[in-house]
């Protein structure tokens, strides 16, 4: 799906909204949370659920969760650019 379409933007907003309800953080998508659980597993039933969902998403679409993490990172960097934040020069 083209990320510039209205439908994509609505689905993305819904994804982030549901993630905020489930994970109490509106910063990233459900797919990114699942991808992070696949990267850094912590003990607990909820982490196992996220890992299982991540495996299912990756089965349906190759590297779906990693691509979602990259997409969320790009959107965060773009938001910082639009807001006028820049990294300090060393």
Tell whether the model's pLDDT for residue 42 goes beyond 80: no
pLDDT band per the 50, 70, 90 thresholds, residue 89: low
pLDDT tens-place string over residues 9-38: 899 899 999 989 988 877 889 999 999 999
Burial class (CB in 10 A: 0-12, 13-18, 19+), 79: exposed
pLDDT tens-place string over residues 46-82: 888 889 999 999 999 999 999 999 999 998 898 888 9
pLDDT band per the 50, 70, 90 thresholds, residue 90: low
Across the chain, mean pLDDT equals: 87
Between 86 and 33, the higher pLDDT residue: 33
d(CA 61, CA 45): 24
Please give the pLDDT value at position 58.
95
Note the residue count of the chain: 90
The single residue listed with the structure tokens 């992070």 is 36
């Amino acid at each position: 799906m083209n990320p510039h379409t209205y439908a994509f933007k609505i689905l993305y907003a819904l994804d982030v909204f549901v993630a905020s309800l489930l994970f109490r953080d509106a910063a990233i998508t459900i797919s990114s949370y699942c991808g992070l659980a696949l990267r850094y597993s912590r003990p607990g039933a909820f982490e196992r659920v996220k890992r299982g969902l991540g495996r299912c998403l990756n089965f349906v679409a190759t590297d779906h969760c990693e691509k979602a993490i990259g997409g969320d990172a790009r959107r965060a960097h773009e938001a910082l650019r639009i807001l006028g934040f820049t990294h300090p020069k060393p």
